[in-house]
A and B are shown apart, each in its own frame.
Chain A
Amino acid sequence: MTDISTPVLRVTDLNVHYAVRQGLQNRTLKAVDGVSLALRPGECLGLVGESGCGKSSLAQAIMGIVTPTSGRVEIAGVTADPGQRIGGLARARAIQMVFQDPYSSLNPRMTIRQTLSAPLHLHKLCPASEVERRIRALLGRVGLEPNAADRYPHAFSGGQRQRLCIARALAVEPRILVCDEPVSALDVSIRAQIINLLLRLKDELGLALLMISHDLGVVEHMSDRIAVMYLGRFVEEGRWDQVLSKPAHPYTRALLASVPGMHKTGAARARMTGEAPSALRPPPGCAFHPRCPVAVDACRSGAGPGITGTAEGHQARCHLLQQGVTA
Chain B
Amino acid sequence: MSEADMILSVENLSVAVGKGNGRLAVEEVSFDIGRGEVFGMVGESGCGKSLCALSIAGLLRAPMHVAGGEVRFEGRDILRLPARDMRRLRGGRIAMIFQEPMTALNPLMTVGDQIGEMFVLHQGLGRAEARHRAIVALAQVQVPSPERRISDYPHQLSGGMRQRVMIAIALACRPALLIADEPTTALDVTIQAEITELILDLCRAQGTAVLMISHDLGHIAEICNRVAVMYAGRVAEMQSGQAVFQGPRHPYTRALVASLPQPGRRLAEGRQDLAEIKGIVPPLGQRPPGCQFAPRCARAADDCRAAVPPFSTIPGGGKVGCFHHD
Contact = CB atoms under 8 A, between A and B. Distances in A.
Contacts of A25: none
A244 B263 CA distance: 10
Interface string B216-229: 11110010000000
B264 A187 contact: no
B126 to A, nearest CB: 34
A261 B269 CA distance: 14
A124 B277 CA distance: 38
A261 B218 contact: yes
Interface string B261-288: 1111111100101111100110000000
Interface in A271-286: 272-273, 275-276
Contacts of A196: 273-274, 276
Contacts of A191: 259-261
Contacts of A193: 276-277
A50 B256 contact: no
B4 to A, nearest CB: 33
Size category of the A interface is 35 or more
A300 interface: no
Given A187-B281, A188-B256, A258-B193, A221 B266 contact: yes
B281 A189 contact: yes
Interface of B: 44-45, 158, 160-161, 188-194, 215-219, 222, 255-256, 259-268, 271, 273-277, 280-281
Given A188-B44, A196-B274, A275-B158, A258 B222 contact: no
A266 interface: yes
Interface stretch (A14-22, A32-40, A212-220, A315-323): A212-220
| 3 closest residue pairs by CB, A with B | A221-B261, A192-B259, A192-B274
5 contacts: A159-B280, A160-B280, A188-B259, A189-B281, A273-B194
Nearest to A50: B188
Contacts of B219: 260
B44 A260 contact: no
Given A195-B274, A196-B273, A258-B192, A217 B260 contact: yes
Contacts of B188: 50-51, 214, 275-276
A132 interface: no
Nearest to A193: B276
Nearest to A160: B280
A145 interface: no
B222 A260 contact: yes
A242 to B, nearest CB: 10
A254 interface: yes
Contacts of B190: 50, 254-255, 258, 272, 275-276
A217 B267 contact: no
Interface in A42-78: 50-51
A157 interface: yes
A261 B262 contact: yes
